[in-house]
Amino acid sequence: MFRGEAASLSFYLLAHILMQTKTVEFVRPVQPQTTSQRWSVAEVEALFKLPFSDLMYRAQQVHREHFDPNAVQLSTLLSIKTGGCAEDCGYCSQSSYHSAGVENTKMLEVDEVLKAARAAKQAGAGRFCMGAAWREPSSEDMKAVVEMVREVRALGLETCATLGMLNDEQTRQLRDAGLDYYNHNLDTAPEFYGNIISTRDYQDRLDTLERVRNAGMHVCSGGIIGMGESLTQRAGLIAQLANMDPYPESVPINNLVKVEGTPLADTEDLDPLDFVRTIAAARITMPHAFVRLSAGRGEMSDAVQALCFLAGANSIFYGDQLLTTGNPAVERDRALMDKLGMYPLAETDH
């Protein structure tokens, strides 16, 4: 569980600083064409080691240069195919290697996905992500996914998909369907990766991201914090992401959700301030990216989440359920945004 007490004294200060609730239109910052600064692992680790107030101040300065600091992107994630995955990712309840009790289901019908997308839009989400528990999609799978992407995008939602590894033809199909973002997380630093997964190489992930970029789609890629990695390895993940050319437009940062039946179920809890520091490092090293608070928010106090927003997070997964794990209720998120004077990002660049 997150120990929010460490941040509680900052909560009311943040609520005072942030402005009153409203909805604003926002024009996405110009996408960086190249990576202007190469970050060594040592340099990123030095960011983590800054005095906390200095790190937060620097991250907030960078954030305000490129974004409205009080606007947050609301993204909804739907599992369109759950369970039975052929990968052995140590954190994942959907792996066929683990006994987490997740049922292997068939892919949802297009109408079911559209129903969920309409509900997400009605609740205030501007972005809809479709996830499938595959190593890679088959040609038959792709036919259905392409239709889903087209129909969801027609609703006026920004679209994202996470389907595993892709080949060149599949990336072209998704691009032609109008997919805005493709998510494929690096998970962790290259040096720690072998401790988490053995069925897919790190280079496989990088190759898929390169195909997505070459096809002309936006890249969504981040990782998971709290899997037992060292500080240097945590910095290594951020450096790996920041040194992509260009770096991802969307960077989800997950805190490990420990699920019974998975190899990481008994991993030691991460100090919440270490998670906040990771958000700040991501913001400083990838100033134009949307930095998303992803899995693990259900265990965070309001105070810890407030510190994450101050550190530069400006996107959340919104809705009671992620893929197979819980997420804060919509009502709780709305109440938190009200207390902080934050408001939904109004996307204008579909």
Catalytic annotation, residues: 85, 89, 92, 129, 160, 220, 292
Distance, CA of 28 to CA of 238 (rounded, Å) = 22
Which pairing describes strands 71-81 and 24-26: parallel, antiparallel, or unpaired?
Answer: unpaired
Is 155 within 8 Å of 121 (Cβ atoms)?
Answer: yes
Residue with tokens 């009502």: 331
For 101, counting Cβ atoms within 10 Å of its Cβ (0-12 exposed, 13-18 middle, 19+ buried), the class is: exposed
For 150, counting Cβ atoms within 10 Å of its Cβ (0-12 exposed, 13-18 middle, 19+ buried), the class is: middle
Distance, CA of 207 to CA of 179 (rounded, Å) = 19
Based on its alpha-carbon atoms, the radius of gyration of the chain, rounded to whole angstroms, reads 19
Furthest-apart CA pair in the chain: how many Å? 53
Residue with tokens 């792709």: 142
In DSSP notation, 8-38 reads HHHHHHHHHHSPPP--EEEPPPPPPSS-SS-
Is 238 within 8 Å of 200 (Cβ atoms)?
Answer: no
Distance, CA of 300 to CA of 5 (rounded, Å) = 10
Instruction: For helices 272-285 and 302-310, give the axis angle rounded to 10 degrees.
Output: 20
- The CB density around residue 112, as the number of other CB atoms within 10 Å, is 13
3-state percent helix, strand, coil for the chain, nearest multiple of 5 = 40, 15, 45
| Identity of the residue numbered 238 | I
Is 67 within 8 Å of 311 (Cβ atoms)?
Answer: no
Is 313 within 8 Å of 325 (Cβ atoms)?
Answer: no
